[in-house]
């Protein structure tokens, strides 16, 4: 699962540790979309899955390329 923000600006970060917070979601395996909007994150996820990325490579891809 990739988490993106619906806000017009800003980014998703693993900051807060409360239930539902970014840090807790990351611990559960959710991948932050960084500064990508929902539609852009969805396309990036589709392309990566289509290219055969496994979970570890998918996480690395989003962390490196969504800066």
Domain ranges of the chain: 2-65
Separation of CA 30 from chain center: 7
Say what the pLDDT of residue 64 is. 84
Question: Does the structure show a pLDDT above 70 at 57?
Answer: yes
Contact 44, 37 (CB under 8 A): no
pLDDT bucket at 53, cuts 50 / 70 / 90: very high
Look at residue 19 in the predicted model and tell me its pLDDT. Answer: 77
Q: Which CATH number fits domain 2-65: 3.40.640.10, 3.40.50.40, 3.40.50.720, 1.10.3720.10?
A: 3.40.50.40
Average pLDDT of the segment spanning 57-62: 90
pLDDT in tens, 8-50: 777 776 677 677 777 888 888 889 888 888 899 999 999 999 9
């Amino acid at each position: 699962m990739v988490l993106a923000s619906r806000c017009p600006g800003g980014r998703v970060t693993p900051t807060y540790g409360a239930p539902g917070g970014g840090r807790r979601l990351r611990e559960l395996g959710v991948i932050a979309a960084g500064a990508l909007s929902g539609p852009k994150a969805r396309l990036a996820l589709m392309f990566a899955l289509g290219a055969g990325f496994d979970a570890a490579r998918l996480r690395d891809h989003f962390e490196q390329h969504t800066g």
